[in-house]
């Protein structure tokens, strides 16, 4: 408790530049933690949604019925969004006469690629902020530390006999900025690496589904042509 009070007092006694650095790092840290918790929930929901939809998709359910149920549920995320985009475009194109199977499948693939890019962008949203905080916070904190140490030594200019006790408080105040920079950076770096890996795995999963679904649509297109 005493240590906490001392750190808080050091922050209050710091120069205005160091205080601005600390406030900046504090805001960055709070914002990072908000993103970390929200992104964790989003990616967990996306992974569970992908598993559930794949189980339903490969259970042998009629695609038209699955599309209708998907539209009615109106979730519009993940694999379900990619499926909706592809099937909707395929159904729209096959109503037009004279369409070859290749044209039908390519149209569905284009729609699914667009949906996949949108889903990937949605999952990656705010990850760049975590990367920025993780890479810049230590340097911002170091700037506050250097400034605080410079200020402490400048105060010795008019002193005849300098001692470590005279600069120790100022140096301690400055070092708090470095500590806050690390406090903001470390969780952001860990979260960015973890969530980037999860997004990459989901993107691969979405892309594999797109290719598998394209093969199914191609077979259906040939059946329609033969029929």
| Residue 82 pLDDT exceeds 50 | yes
DSSP sequence for 87-115: HHHHHHHHTSTT--HHHHHHHHHHHHHHH
Number of continuous H segments (helices) and E segments (strands) in the chain: 7, 0
Calpha distance 187→194 (Å, rounded): 11
State both tokens at 103. Answer: 């044209």
Q: Where are the domains of the chain?
A: 2-226
Nearest to 14 by CA among 108, 153, 147: 147
| Residue 5 pLDDT exceeds 50 | no
Calpha distance 90→84 (Å, rounded): 10
| Residue 27 pLDDT exceeds 50 | yes
State both tokens at 204. Answer: 């691969």
> What is the pLDDT of the chain when averaged over all its residues?
85
What are the pLDDT digits (tens) for 160-194? Answer: 665 656 566 667 777 888 888 999 999 999 999 99
Mean pLDDT (whole number) for 77-87 = 91
Instruction: Note whether 141 and 177 are within 8 A (CB).
Output: yes
| Residue 198 pLDDT exceeds 70 | yes
Residue 4: predicted pLDDT: 47
Give 1's pLDDT tier (boundaries 50, 70, 90): very low
What are the pLDDT digits (tens) for 49-79? Answer: 999 999 999 988 888 888 888 888 766 688 9
Residue 2: predicted pLDDT: 43
**Residue the block writes with tokens 């933690």:** 33
Please state which of the ranges 2-6, 110-114, 182-186, 199-203 shows the lowest mean pLDDT: 2-6
What are the pLDDT digits (tens) for 32-55? Answer: 999 999 999 999 999 999 999 999
Residue 61: predicted pLDDT: 82
């Amino acid at each position: 408790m005493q240590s906490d009070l001392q750190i808080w007092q050091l922050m209050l006694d710091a120069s205005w530049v160091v205080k601005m650095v600390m406030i900046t790092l504090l805001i960055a840290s709070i914002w990072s933690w908000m993103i970390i918790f929200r992104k964790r929930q989003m990616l967990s929901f996306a992974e569970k949604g992908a598993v559930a939809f794949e189980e339903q998709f490969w259970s042998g359910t009629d695609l038209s019925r699955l599309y209708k149920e998907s539209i009615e549920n109106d979730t519009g995320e993940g694999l379900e969004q990619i499926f909706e985009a592809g099937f909707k475009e395929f159904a729209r194109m096959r109503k037009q006469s004279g369409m070859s199977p290749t044209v039908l499948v390519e149209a569905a693939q284009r729609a699914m690629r667009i949906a996949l890019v949108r889903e990937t962008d949605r999952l990656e949203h705010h990850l760049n902020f975590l990367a920025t905080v993780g890479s810049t916070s230590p340097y911002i904190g170091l700037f506050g530390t250097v400034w605080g140490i410079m200020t402490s030594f400048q105060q010795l200019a008019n002193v005849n006999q300098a001692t470590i006790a005279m600069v120790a408080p100022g140096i301690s105040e400055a070092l708090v900025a470095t500590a806050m920079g690390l406090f903001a950076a470390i969780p952001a770096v860990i979260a960015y690496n973890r969530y980037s890996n999860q997004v990459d795995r989901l993107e691969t999963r979405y892309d594999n589904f797109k290719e598998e679904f394209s093969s199914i649509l191609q077979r259906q297109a040939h059946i329609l042509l033969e029929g």
